[in-house]
Amino acid sequence: MRRILVTGANKGIGLALVEAILAQHADSFVYLGARDAGRGRAAAALLGKTAGYAERLEVVELDVADDTSVARARQRVGESARGEALYGLVNNAGIGGWSESLAAVLETNTLGVRRVCEAFSALLEPSRGRIVNVTSASGPTFVAACSPEWQRFFLDERLTWQRLRGFLEQCLAAGDAAALAARGLADGSAYGLSKACANAYTAIVAREQPGLVVNACTPGFIATDMTRPYAESEGKAPAALGMKTPAEGAKAPLHLLFGVVQGSGHYYGSDAKRSPLDRYRAPGSPEYTGAP
Ligand code: NAP
């Protein structure tokens, strides 16, 4: 069995990814991560209606923003797997609402990814385990609008977690979007910053764990609870705004989990092709082949 943990999997893209894994990979066992156990169980009950899914599925309570919750989840998965290694870890949990504070967004979208990687990477199969970080095209778009100095920072192939962590602390001390923008960090968007940092962190883990295949991707522009308020504010149906379904959003993460993937530490577009870290590449346009 290939054991895979997906965080934030009780709804949206995470839930669609769990469903796709169960449907397409009969040799898989999925740990459905949910910060609220009740919401996790409700999602699992829905999936369990399909024959053959319930016995390959286990809900794991996991709040990526909480050290204790992550430690408990690690213990639970370790015990459940009874010495078997994990094949995959998908860091999908994320928040993006405009009402969220910079601290909350960084805690979940960047520090949460690091917290879960640190806790679970030792459980991954050392020579073929995969980590997929669901980030966003907001990351490269953010970097594109930064000053040249900050662009060099995000692209630096020698960037360490210590330096990235120090940078995040500086951002938190700066306080708000206007203060970040004044320092040359694009428009200071908390979400864009958090995803640019999650992409940079992906490259760091790949360097730290050369035996693993570690990559990030955007799912694309997907109709979920995260994007629904935007569609509502525009007074349009999600499809009319170009939003795709959660199942379509699961395609790039699925490719990075199971497909033939060259290299590690890279960022992919929603078409499952590599993309640069410092500018947007539209799906369907030529794949990026440069460094980093
Ligand atoms: P969603 O429907 O709002 O789902 C987000 C999931 O993350 C939910 O299960 C949520 O749990 C969970 N979550 C939030 N904070 C968490 C925490 N601290 N610990 C554990 N789980 C937590 O959003 P989505 O669109 O599917 O987003 C999934 C990922 O795709 C996110 O990383 C997002 O940034 C990324 N993304 C989405 C789009 C898009 O167009 N939708 C585009 C680019 C990137 P609750 O139900 O408990 O809130």
Contacts of 99 (CB under 8 A, 6+ apart): none
Confidence label for 125 from pLDDT (cuts 50, 70 and 90): very high
Q: Examine the pLDDT at 223 and tell me if it is beyond 90.
A: yes
- Neighbouring CB atoms inside 10 A of 50's CB total 11
Identify the sign of the CA torsion 17, 23, 25, 30: positive
Q: What is the pLDDT of residues 107-120, one digit of tens each?
A: 999 999 999 999 99
**Residue 157's pLDDT is what?**
97
Q: Nearest 5°: CA angle at 106, between 203 and 132?
A: 40
**Residue 98's pLDDT is what?**
78
**Residue 290's pLDDT is what?**
93
In a domain, 52, yes or no: yes
- In angstroms and rounded to an integer, the radius of gyration of the C-alpha atoms of the chain is 18
Q: Give the mean pLDDT of the chain.
A: 97
Q: Examine the pLDDT at 143 and tell me if it is beyond 90.
A: yes
Quick one: DSSP state of residue 176?
S
Residue 112 CA: nearest ligand 1 atom is: 18
Q: Examine the pLDDT at 152 and tell me if it is beyond 90.
A: yes
Start-to-end CA span in the chain (Å): 33
Q: How far is the CA of 94 from the centre of ligand 1 (A)?
A: 4
Q: What is the pLDDT of residues 35-53, one digit of tens each?
A: 999 999 999 999 999 999 9
Q: Examine the pLDDT at 97 and tell me if it is beyond 80.
A: no
Q: Which residues line ligand 1 (CB under 6 A)?
A: 7-8, 10-14, 35-36, 39, 62-65, 92-96, 108, 112, 134, 136, 218-219, 221-222, 224-227
Element (H, E) at 199: helix 190-208
Strand ranges (DSSP E) for the chain?
2-6, 28-34, 57-61, 88-91, 130-134, 213-217, 267-268, 274-275
Confidence label for 87 from pLDDT (cuts 50, 70 and 90): very high
In a domain, 42, yes or no: yes
Q: How far is the CA of 93 from the centre of ligand 1 (A)?
A: 5
Q: Examine the pLDDT at 267 and tell me if it is beyond 90.
A: yes
CA 21 from chain center: how many Å? 16
Its pTM stands at 0.98
In a domain, 157, yes or no: yes
**Residue 159's pLDDT is what?**
98
In a domain, 286, yes or no: no
**Residue 20's pLDDT is what?**
98
Q: Examine the pLDDT at 58 and tell me if it is beyond 90.
A: yes
In a domain, 292, yes or no: no
Of the candidate ranges 20-29, 95-104, 115-124, 212-221, the one whose mean pLDDT is the lowest: 95-104
Residue range 135-142: mean pLDDT, rounded:
98
% of the chain beyond a pLDDT of 70: 100
Instruction: Give Cα separations from 153 to 122, 162, 205 (angstroms).
Output: 28, 13, 16
Residue range 94-104: mean pLDDT, rounded:
92
The CATH code of the domain that includes 196 is 3.40.50.720
For the chain, what is the domain count? Answer: 1
In a domain, 280, yes or no: no
In a domain, 132, yes or no: yes
Residue range 72-86: mean pLDDT, rounded:
97
For ligand 1, atom 9, name the residue with the nearest CA: 8
**Residue 99's pLDDT is what?**
84
| Residue from 218, 221, 226 whose mutation best tests the ligand 1 pocket (most atoms within 8 A of CB) | 226
In a domain, 288, yes or no: no
Full domain range(s) for residue 260: 2-275
**Residue 117's pLDDT is what?**
98
Q: What is the DSSP string of 220-271?
A: -SB-STTTHHHHHHHTS-GGGGT-B-HHHHTHHHHHHHHS---SSS-EE-TT
